[in-house]
Chains A and B, each alone.
Chain A
Amino acid sequence: MIPINSPRSQPERTPVIDEIDGSETAQSSGQGTCIHCDLPIPISRQHSSGPEFCCAGCEVAYAILQDMDPRLLEEIAEAKTAGPSELTYEEMNHPRFLELYAHQLDSGLNRIRLHLEGIHCASCVFVIEKLPEFLPGVINARVNLTTATLDCFWNPDAVALSEIARTLDRLGYRPHPAQPNETERLYRLENRKHLIRLGIAGACAGNVMLIAFALYAGMFTGMSAEHLNLFRWTSAGLALVSIFWPGQIFFKGALLALKTRIPHIDLPVALGITIGGIAGLVNSIRGSGEIYFDSLTVLIFLLLVGRYIQFRQQHHALSQLSLLKNLTPRHARLVTGTEVLTVPIEVLQVEDEVEVRAGDVIPADGVILSGDSSVDESILTGESRPRRVLTGGEVTAGTLNLTSPLRMQVQSVGEQTRIGRLMNLVELGVSSKLPLIELANRIAGVFVITVILLSLLCLGLWWSSGANVAVANAISLLIVTCPCALGLATPLALAVAQGKAAKRAILINSGDAVEKLARPGFLWLDKTGTLTTGKMQVQVWQGEQSQFREIAALEQQVVHPIASAILGYIEQQTGGALPDLPAPEDVQARPGQGINGTVSGHQLLIGTEALLTLEGCRIPATYQQSIADCRAQGLTTVLIAVDGELEAVCGIGDSLRPDSRATLDHLKAAGWSIGILSGDHEEIVNPIARQLDIDPEFVHAGVLPEEKLQIIHQSTPHELTVMVGDGVNDSAALAAASVGIAVHGGAEASLQVADVYLNRPGLSPLRELIDGARMTNQVIIRNLLISLAYNLLAAGLALDGLINPLIAAVLMPISSLTVLVLSFMNRSFRETHA
Chain B
Amino acid sequence: MSVLYIALPVAILLALAAVIAFVWTVSRGQYDDLDTPAFRMLEDDERRRPRHRPASESETSLREEADHPDDSREQ
The yes or no verdict on A and B being binding partners is yes
For B71, give its contact among A126, A134, A153, A185 (CB under 8 Å).
A185
In the A-B complex, list the 9 residue pairs whose CB atoms are closest, starting with the nearest. Answer: A122-B39, A145-B36, A140-B66, A107-B58, A199-B22, A125-B39, A145-B35, A203-B19, A195-B26
Set of chain A residues within 8 Å of B63, measured between Cβ atoms: 139-140
Write out the residue numbers on chain B whose beta carbons fall within 8 Å of the beta carbon of A227: 2, 4
Which residues of the partner chain B approach A188 to less than 8 Å between Cβ atoms?
A: 29, 32, 71
Which parts of B54-71 form the interface with A (CB within 8 Å)? 58-59, 61-63, 66-67, 71
Chain A residues with CB under 8 Å of B8's CB are 230, 234
User: For residues 21 through 74 of chain B, which have their beta carbon under 8 Å from a beta carbon of chain A?
Assistant: 22-23, 26-27, 29, 31-36, 39-40, 42-43, 48-53, 58-59, 61-63, 66-67, 71, 74
Q: Does residue A191 face the partner (Cβ distance < 8 Å to B)?
A: yes
- Known contacts A140-B66, A189-B74, A191-B32; decide if A207 and B12 are in contact (CB<8 Å): yes
Q: Is the C-beta of A392 less than 8 angstroms from some C-beta in chain B?
A: no
A136 touches B36 (CB 8 A): no
Q: Contact between A122 and B42 (Cβ–Cβ < 8 Å)? A: yes
- List A residues 445-460 near B (Cβ within 8 Å): none
CB-based contact B71/A196 at 8 Å = no
Is B27 a contact partner of A192 (Cβ separation < 8 A)? yes
* Inter-chain contact B5/A230, CB cutoff 8 Å: yes
Task: Give the distance in Å from the alpha carbon of A238 to the alpha carbon of B51 in the complex.
Answer: 56
Residue of B nearest to A133 (CB): B50
- Tell me how far the C-beta of A427 lies from the nearest C-beta in chain B, rounded to whole angstroms: 23
Question: Among B19, B43, B59, B61, which residue has its beta carbon within 8 angstroms of that of A199?
Answer: B19
Q: Would you call A146 and B18 a contact (CB within 8 A)?
A: no
Further 7 A-B residue pairs, CB within 8 A, beyond A199-B26, A234-B8 = A125-B36, A142-B67, A143-B36, A145-B33, A147-B33, A196-B27, A207-B15
- A207→B36 contact, CB < 8 A: no
Chain B residues near A3: list those with CB within 8 A.
none
Q: Provided the pairs A195-B26, A196-B26, A207-B12 are in contact, do residues A230 and B4 lie with their beta carbons within 8 angstroms?
A: yes
Chain B residues touching A, majority SS: helix
Complex contacts, A140 vs chain B, CB 8 Å: 62-63, 66
Task: Please name 30 pairs of A and B residues whose Cβ atoms are closer than 8 Å in the assembled complex, sorted by A.
Answer: A107-B61, A108-B58, A109-B62, A122-B39, A122-B42, A125-B40, A126-B39, A126-B43, A132-B50, A134-B50, A136-B52, A139-B62, A140-B66, A143-B36, A144-B36, A145-B36, A151-B66, A153-B62, A153-B66, A185-B71, A188-B32, A191-B32, A192-B26, A192-B32, A196-B27, A199-B19, A200-B19, A203-B15, A207-B15, A230-B8
**Residues in chain B near residue A203, CB distance under 8 A:** 15, 18-19, 22
Q: What residue of chain A has the Cβ atom nearest to residue B61's Cβ?
A: A107
In the assembly, what is the distance between CA of A191 and CA of B30, in Å? 12
Which A residues, 69 to 109, have Cβ-Cβ distances below 8 Å to chain B? Answer: 105, 107-109
B4: which A residues are within 8 A, CB to CB? 227, 230
Verify B31–A192 contact, CB threshold 8 A: yes
Q: Are B35 and A195 in contact (CB under 8 A)?
A: no
A627 CB to nearest B CB, Å: 55
A129 is contacted by which of B43, B50, B62 (Cβ under 8 Å)? Answer: B43
| A-facing residues in B1-23 (Cβ within 8 Å) | 2, 4-5, 8, 11-12, 15, 18-19, 22-23
Centre residue among A146, A185, A210, A238 by max chain B CB count within 10 A:
A146
Rounded to whole angstroms, the CA-CA distance of A171 and B65 in the bound complex is 26
B63 to chain A minimum Cβ distance, whole angstroms, is: 6
With the chains together, A126 CA to B43 CA distance in Å? 6
Known: A109-B58, A199-B26. A207 touches B11 (CB 8 A): yes
Residues of A within 8 A of B36 (CB): 125, 143-146
For the side of the interface on A, what is the size category?
A: 35 or more
Distance to closest chain A CB from B36 (angstroms): 4
Q: Give 1 or 0 for each of A216-235: 1 = CB within 8 Å of chain B CB.
A: 00000000001100100010
A189 to B27, CA, bound (A): 8
Docked Cα-Cα span, A401 to B7, in Å, equals: 77
Q: Chain B's nearest CB lies how many Å from the CB of A225? A: 12
Give A195 to B63 CA distance when docked, in angstroms.
28
Give Cα A192–Cα B34 distance, bound, in whole angstroms: 13
> Taking CB as reference atom, which chain B residue is nearest A234?
B8
Mask of A153-196 contacts with B, CB within 8 angstroms, 1/0: 10000000000000000000000000000000100110110011
Most buried by A among B23, B36, B48: B36
Residues of B within 8 A of A195 (CB): 26, 31
Name the B residues within 8 Å of A210 (CB-CB).
Answer: 11
> Is A133 a contact of B48 with CB atoms below 8 Å?
yes
Q: How far is the CA of A834 from the CA of B49 in the complex (A)?
A: 58
Which of B23, B31, B42, B67 meets A126, CB within 8 Å? Answer: B42
A279 to B40 alpha-carbon distance, docked (Å): 52
Q: Which residue of B lies closest to A64 (CB)?
A: B44
- Hey, which chain A residues are within 8 Å of B67, CB to CB? 142
Residues of A within 8 A of B22 (CB): 196, 199, 203
User: Bound state CA distance, A256 and B13, in angstroms?
Assistant: 36
Chain B residues, CB < 8 A from A129: 40, 43
Q: Which of B52, B61, B66 has the most CB of A within 10 A?
A: B66
Least distance between B51 CB and chain A CB atoms (Å): 8
Q: Are A185 and B74 in contact (CB under 8 A)?
A: yes
CA gap between A523 and B44 in the complex, in Å: 51
- Collect the chain B residues with CB atoms within 8 Å of residue A122's CB: 39, 42
Bound complex: CA of A238 vs CA of B58, how far in Å? 46
Instruction: Output the nearest chain A residue to B8 by Cβ-Cβ distance.
Output: A234
What's the Cα separation between A330 and B49 when bound, in Å? 32
Bound complex: CA A195 to CA B40 (Å) = 24
The distance in angstroms between the C-alpha atoms of A146 and B42, with both chains bound, is: 17
Q: How far is the CB of B15 from chain A (nearest CB, A)?
A: 5
Closest to A142 in B: B66
Residues of A close to B52: CB separation below 8 A: 136
Chain B residues, Cβ within 8 Å of A136: 50, 52-53
Out of B18, B33, B43, name the residue touching A144 (CB < 8 Å): B33
**Residues of chain A lying within 8 A (CB to CB) of residue B53:** 136
Task: Verify A196–B23 contact, CB threshold 8 A.
Answer: yes
Contact present for B23 and A199 (CB under 8 Å): yes
Query: A107 touching B39 by the CB < 8 A rule?
Result: no
Q: How close is A107's CB to chain B, nearest CB, in angstroms?
A: 4
Q: Contacts A126-B43, A230-B4: A146 and B35 contacting too (C-beta < 8 A)? A: yes
Nearest Cβ in chain A — how far from B38, in angstroms?
8
- Once the chains are docked, how many angstroms separate the CA of A189 from the CA of B50? 36
Residues on the B chain within 8 Å of A153, using CB: 62, 66
Asked if A146 and B61 make an inter-chain contact with CB atoms under 8 angstroms apart, the answer reads no
Q: For residue B29, which residues in chain A have a CB less than 8 angstroms away from its CB? A: 188, 192
The answer to whether B39 and A145 have CB atoms under 8 Å apart is: yes
Cα-based distance from A125 to B33 in the complex (angstroms): 14
Residues A146 and B33 in contact in the complex (CB < 8 Å), given A132-B50, A185-B71, A230-B4: yes
Question: Whole-angstrom distance between the alpha carbons of A512 and B37 in the complex?
Answer: 31
A816 to chain B, nearest CB (A): 24
Considering the chains assembled together, what is the distance between the CA atoms of A207 and B19 in angstroms?
Answer: 12
- The answer for the CA separation of A685 and B52 in the assembled complex, in Å, is 61
Say how far A236's CB is from chain B's closest CB, in angstroms: 13
Residues of B within 8 A of A139 (CB): 59, 62-63, 66
